[in-house]
Structure formats: C-alpha cells, structure tokens
Structure 1
Amino acid sequence: MSTTSETPVLDTLMAMTADSLERCGLAPDMLILTRIAALAAMDAPAVSYLAHLEPAMQEHMTAAQLQDVLVAIAPIVGTARVMSAATHITEALGIAIAVADAGNANPNTM
C-alpha cells in the first residue's frame, strides 16, 4: 500500500474518529465523556487525553464533569486506573498550556 501523506498514522486516526463521529448518535458532550471513560479504562497515555481537550473545551465542559466521570467509573475500572487517568489528564493539560504559551511567546523576548 502506497501513501502520499507524511503522517499516515495520524491521518488514519483522524479518519477513524471522523467515521465514529458520523455514525454516533450521542450528543457531543456525552461522546467526549464516554471517550474519557474509555481512555481511563484502557490506561491511555496523556497524549490520548490531549486529543480530547479541545473538543471538551468547545463543548464548555468543566473539570467537575471530568471528575464526575472518573468517580462514576472508579468502582468498575479500579483505583489504580482512575488515579492514572487523573495524572494523564493533568499531564495533557500541562502539554496544552505549554503549547499555547509557546504559540503566544514573543520571539523578541527570547
């Protein structure tokens, strides 16, 4: 299989996500919360949560809602996974803030 893209993995993930969104009847905020729960259940890395931060902000979701998801799934996935998810979400937020700060940095002051 030949590909002309320089980011075939990212392109594939984006296509899978778009297809999932197209076929899903959940409201956008519920979709994001469901995906956060799935990421926690799988002990996903911070970068996986990072991909969901902007859509969550666009839906005006709050930290309290994310915490509620972790509380709701704790009896199912366990303490270790919930604590890991909380850590990875925090790391993802830190990455997002660092990227935003870097984009807003004044090159004349560096």
Structure 2
Amino acid sequence: MATASDTPVLDTIAAMTVDSIERCGLPPNALVLTRIAALAASDAPPISYAAHIGPALDSGVTADQLQDVLVAIAPIVGTPRVMAAAANISKALGIAIVVADAEIIVQG
C-alpha cells in the first residue's frame, strides 16, 4: 500500500524525476536542456519551466544555451510552440524571482 502524503502528486513527480536522473547518462546541463526542449515541444505551462530553473542554474546552463535550444527545435515544433515556450520561460523566471525575494524577506 502507498504511503499517505499531503502532496501525493508532487511526491510522484519527484520520484519519477529522481529515477530518470539516475538512469540517464547525460551530463546535468545536457539533461536539463533536453527537458526544456521537451517542455517546449509539449507546450508546457510556466510552472513546468519553473521546476527546471534551479537545476539549470546549478548545472551552468546559460541564457545563450537556452536560446540555442529554442532555435534548434523551432523547425521541428514550430514557431507558435517556440514563442509560447519563450514567454513561459520568462513567466517562470518571474515566478522564481518573486519566490527568491519572498524568501529573502522572510529570512531577513
């Protein structure tokens, strides 16, 4: 029987992510860039990108690399998905900044 949790969906996603990372041979920066490409291809909402901001920064992904990924996938996924991805990434960064500011205020 499954363990009871207040956040079963989040717990499941976290477990799937850990399992995926453990089974993947890509370096961390390639892994996160691949995931961002998949998010763009699936027309993911900003919150999905927000979950990848920390790992992207931790692995040294640059804004230029992120832009290069969007350029690379544009002929495959199309202009509307790439433009939506760019907007959603910007929204996710805004969310991340607000969260970081809130944590500084709480800790300060």
TM-score by length of 2: 0.94
Superimposed CA distance per residue, residues 63-110 of structure 1 (whole angstroms, 9 cap, x where no aligned partner):
1110000000000000000000000000000000000111112699xx
Separation in 2 of the partners of 1:55 and 1:33? 10
Instruction: Tell me the SS of whatever aligns to 1:5.
Output: coil
- Partner residue of 2:76? 76
Query: What SS is found at the alignment partner of 1:81?
Result: helix
Structure 2: how far apart are the matches of 1:67 and 1:95?
19
Identity %: 67
Change in Cα spacing, 1:30 to 1:106, as seen in structure 2 (3 Å) is closer
Q: Distance in 2 between matches of 1:37 and 1:97?
A: 22
- Counterpart secondary structure, 1:97: helix
- List alignment gaps of at least 5 residues for structure 1: none
Q: Would you say how many aligned residue pairs link Structure 1 and Structure 2?
A: 108
Deviations 1:31-74 (A, max 9, x none): 00100000000000001000100001001211111000000000
Return 5+ residue gaps in structure 2 as ranges. none
Of structures 1 and 2, the larger Rg is shown by: 1
Q: Distance in 1 between matches of 2:45 and 2:2?
A: 29
RMSD of aligned residue pairs (Cα, Å): 1.6
Spell out structure 1 runs of 4+ moving beyond 4 A. Answer: none
Distance 2:20 2:7 in 1: 20
